[in-house]
Amino acid sequence: MSRVGRFFSHWTLGLVLAFVLCAGSVFAKTNVILVVVDGGGYGAYRVASQFRTGEDRGLPFMKGENGWREFGCTTYSLSGVVQHSQFEENAGPQKTSYSEDGSYDPATHWVDFRTHMKNATDSAASSTALNTGVKTKNGRVNFDKNDKPIETLAEYVVKRGFAAGAITNVGASHATPAGVAAHNMKRGEGMDIWREMVKKDVLSVVMGASHPWYDSNAERRDEMKIQKYGPSEHAWGKITTEELYYGWKFIEKREDFQKIASGEMAPPKKLMGLPQVSGTFQASRADENKRNETVPTMTECALAGLNVLNQNEKGFYVLIESGAVDGLAHGNKKSRRLFDEMNEFFDMVDAICEWVEKNSSWEETTLVLTADHETGALWGPDADKEATLFQTPIGKGKGVIPEMGYFTGGHTNAPVPFFVRGAGLPNLEKRVRCTDEKFGKMWGFDGRILDNTDFVPAAKELFDRQ
């Protein structure tokens, strides 16, 4: 081979090598961020959009901007599945109840206004479904219908070298964050669940409101009051006296959340953040709609958590819960607190998007916004009447509380929104269960319906590409 020929063959080889290296680095990292609004169904997303933007679907993710995709997502648990024998006995709309394989018949479902309110899921069963891909009965955290523990997505990815975290603005170990890494037949065993979340080497970030020394208005108590969904008295003693309790760096002051969020303070390997508040981050004073200024915002918590998790070279999975909508909807509240809570959630979504653009990319990171279930049957004020059976809330302009009605004090099985941004989870489209045109038309999307058990297999496919 001539000298020139040899030069070119080396050059070609170099090009091929460079190409292979580049192609390999496309998937250098895989991050999946699952944001769950507890109790935030189409109704809550709708009224919050009306209040914030003056439009029914005014947020970028609702408009399909920036590559956002939208599905509806069914949430029912095995407690809501009507057995075959019951089908025979109950004619009519009862036949539209959900089936165990994750489907329902949209043609007959939206006939009776009450159908979606029957046998609704709770947060434990839905968090189990979102974190394991397995349907279970209400009350169970990652235990299946045969009383067997189920591996969670967090456990699956951590085994493969990724990091995982659980962040909430309500009790740190209540059902939704518990679903990330704990296993319990009873969701109410909050302190046991907390112990499992922090002692097993699965999570690198745990955050939530369960500080024993502060009340729900972030005021210091005279005496410590151990919270049900947080550390026991024994654990609290160790957390606050040991330099690193099971490797956890503990923070409680807002400024520390802010410093890790902004990068001013180097992120620790494992971060346990319990802001100085019990219950929820927002103040619970009856008529004052002020937030607790000494408590971090959801944005500050999320960014601090992302900075910790982003130290992992392969990537991470994190569940971030906006947890207070559920309680407000149980109480059928139309107050500013509901809108403040949703606004903090919307602000956080914007901040996460900016974080991804600065610290990662939409090729690497997938962001999902959804809910564990709908709460309150939040529809328009005249719903459940013959002429306006499935009326949706009526916007009254920016900053004005829309006309809305609640039709139950409990949860419902109405599909919830499921928004996805990022190149990840392209495999979601093939998992669509049905197209519910009627429901889609009510809320202004194309009616493609996923089930909450579809997220985990889709996410695993994504993590497995590395």
Q: Which among 365, 357, 309 is positioned nearest to 33, based on CA atoms?
A: 365
CB closer to Zn ion, 158 vs 320: 320
Scanning 19-27, 186-194, 229-237, 320-328 for contacts with Zn ion by CB under 5 A, the matching segment is 320-328
Structure tokens at 80: 């809501």
User: What separation in angstroms does the CA of 93 have from each of 104, 109, 111, 273, 430?
Assistant: 12, 7, 7, 47, 29
Q: Which is nearer to Zn ion, 41 or 305 (CB)?
A: 41
Q: Rounded to the nearest whole angstrom, what is the least distance from the CB of residue 411 to Zn ion in the complex?
A: 6
Min separation Cβ 123 and Zn ion, Å? 6
326 contributes a contact to Zn ion by CB under 5 A: yes
- The piece of 8-16, 44-52, 321-329, 455-463 that touches Zn ion (CB under 5 A) is 321-329
- Considering the complex, state which of residue 366 and residue 412 has its C-beta at the smaller distance from Zn ion: 412
The residue with its CB nearest to Zn ion is: 326
| Count of beta carbons in the 10 Å neighbourhood of residue 148 | 11
In the shown chain, the binding pattern of residues 66 to 105 toward Zn ion, with x for contact by CB under 5 A and - for none, equals: ----------------------------------------
Taking the complex as a whole, the smallest distance from the CB of residue 185 to Zn ion amounts, in Å, to 19
Task: Quote the least distance from Cβ 331 to Zn ion, whole Å.
Answer: 10
Q: Which stretch binds Zn ion (CB under 5 A): 10-18, 42-50, 188-196, 318-326?
A: 318-326
The verdict on 252 binding Zn ion (CB under 5 A) reads no
- Shortest distance, position 410 Cβ to Zn ion, whole Å: 8
Residue 327 beta carbon to Zn ion: minimum distance, rounded to whole angstroms: 7
Interactions with Zn ion, residue window 186-225 (CB under 5 A): none
Q: How far apart are the first and last CA of the chain?
A: 40
Query: Is residue 341 within the footprint of Zn ion (CB under 5 A)?
Result: no
Q: Which residues bind Zn ion (CB under 5 A)?
A: 326
